[in-house]
Amino acid sequence: MSDRTACEYKIDNDFIKCSHCKNTYFFKGSAMLNTAGMTFLGLDWANRTAITLMCENCGLIHWFGKAPIPVTT
C-alpha cells in the first residue's frame, strides 16, 4: 500500500508541507476515488486513483488528484 520510508514531495515546484504541523516528510499511498461516497460528493467523474501523503509526524493524510514529485537528495 504505502512506502516504508518517508520522503519530501513537491507539487508545482513547491514543497508540500503538512497543513497541520508543517512537516515536509510524508508516506505515500493511494486510494480509489471511485467509491459510493465520492460519487455522492459529485467526484465520480474522476474514477481513478488519488495519491495520498500521510504526514510522518502527525499522521494527517493529504489527498492529491495528480502525482506529487518525490524529492530525492
Q: Do 6 and 25 form a contact (C-beta atoms < 8 A)?
A: yes
Strands 14-15 and 61-64: unpaired
Q: How far is the CB of 14 from Zn ion (least distance, A)?
A: 17
Instruction: Answer yes or no whether residue 57 interacts with Zn ion by CB under 5 A.
Output: yes
The residue written with cell numbers 467509491 in the block is: 35
Which residue in 23, 30, 34, 39 binds Zn ion (CB under 5 A)?
23
Find all residues with CB under 8 Å of 31, minimum gap 6, and list them.
49, 50, 52, 63
Q: Which of 31, 32, 41, 58 binds Zn ion (CB under 5 A)?
A: 58
Rule CB under 5 A: say whether 71 interacts with Zn ion. no
Nearer Cβ to Zn ion (46/54)? 54
State the residues that interact with Zn ion by CB under 5 A.
18, 20-21, 23, 55, 57-58, 60
